[in-house]
Amino acid sequence: MLSASEIRIGVVVSRNDYRRIMDIATEIYAPLLRRGCRESNITLKYVPSDFHLALGTLFFAEYTDVDGVIVVGEEFDTNIAKSLHELQIQWNMPVEYRYNGSKTGDDCGLVDMIQLQSEMAGELPEEKSPASRRENIN
């Protein structure tokens, strides 16, 4: 199982939400660091608007080696949530959706899901080991 210090996390933030950009360190980085994640394993990227959050998440899945992505939008959007849910399934990669007013603080559900995935993958016999998420692409 991956330890928190080994986990690589991507963070996608909508530029529409400038007032919250300064809160990213408090709302996202600090709880991850308290859990044992290394700041050097956290990659922050901005997208132009909430509309682009799902695509930014897909870019993390496709072009990086992150284990999961935290998505930060300005407000909750059902279509974005649905798209992010579909990306989780398609890419076999945990995604956490946060938005203005959503629960923050020490909630590190993403770390828990990454560790669960790592633990379960480690329990499989080698001949049944799943392909990496990059090999599962349509």
The tens digit of pLDDT for each residue in 82-120 reads 999 999 999 999 999 988 766 655 567 999 999 999 999
- What is the distance between the alpha carbons of residues 4 and 36, in angstroms, rounded to a whole number? 5
What's the sign of the alpha-carbon dihedral 97, 103, 105, 109?
A: negative
pLDDT at 138: 47
The tens digit of pLDDT for each residue in 56-81 reads 999 999 999 999 999 988 889 999 99
Domain boundaries, the chain: 4-135
The residues with which 99 forms a beta bridge, in sequence order, are 73
What architecture does CATH give domain 4-135? Answer: 3-Layer(aba) Sandwich (3.40)
Question: Residue 135: pLDDT above 90?
Answer: no
Provide the 8-state DSSP code for 105: S
- What is the distance between the alpha carbons of residues 30 and 5, in angstroms, rounded to a whole number? 14
Q: Chain-wide mean pLDDT for the chain?
A: 86
